[in-house]
Amino acid sequence: MSFFVQQREVLSTINVILGKLIGPISATTLFGLVFLILVIIGFLLKKKYSWSLSSILVFSLAIAWLPILAQFLYSSALEFDDTWFVVSVPEHEQRTWRYCRIDQAQDLRGGLCNMDSFVEHLHKFIPRGSRVSFLNSIFVPYLYYFNYADYSIEDPRTAQYVIEYRSPASTFSYVKQNLQYMNNGVEESLGQFSVVSALTSDQVIFKRISK
């Protein structure tokens, strides 16, 4: 049974969510069926007990919701036990700890855990107000969030700086300073670039070479 488990935060969720399965059955399907069965029973007994339509729906929803509430409370208690100490540390450390925890849970190979240090690295090499673009990866929303106030985010074909942060190797490549990308399945050139800094092969800052 995977319903009563600790639901740790991952990139694809915001709130604590249900376990996917209760045995071989989807939790969503099961509780939906429970709700429908209760509603049907309520209608069958409606005249006998003088139940109103609203009371049938409310009680059916409440009963079907109780297991969901129990799972939420169980997971929240485990999460609190794991994370309560972070409240007393500075915000930067809280964010780094949280990202590293998500990184470890999803085996992101340090991509999210190293986000803060990479953003600091960008600020050292790219002047404020520059036109930048981030090559597509699952980390782009985070890079946007931490850099939108410092840079003008533009199309990669016009940006002064193009940043690759753990993008898929099959999608982006640079050969002889000519940066390539895939557009609707066709490889196109973004133009000529020099490498300003490369922490790893997946963490590269490119600067457009003026013609």
The residue ranges of every structural domain in the chain are 21-88, 115-208
pLDDT number for residue 133: 93
pLDDT number for residue 121: 93
Residue ranges of the chain whose pLDDT lies below 70: 1, 12-19, 167-177, 181-185, 211
pLDDT number for residue 120: 92
- The pTM score is 0.68
pLDDT number for residue 15: 54
Say if residues 26 and 20 touch (Cβ distance below 8 Å). Answer: yes
Amino acid 143 reads L
Task: Give the number of residues written for the chain.
Answer: 211
How far apart CA 122 and CA 57 sit, in angstroms, is 55
How far apart CA 8 and CA 139 sit, in angstroms, is 19
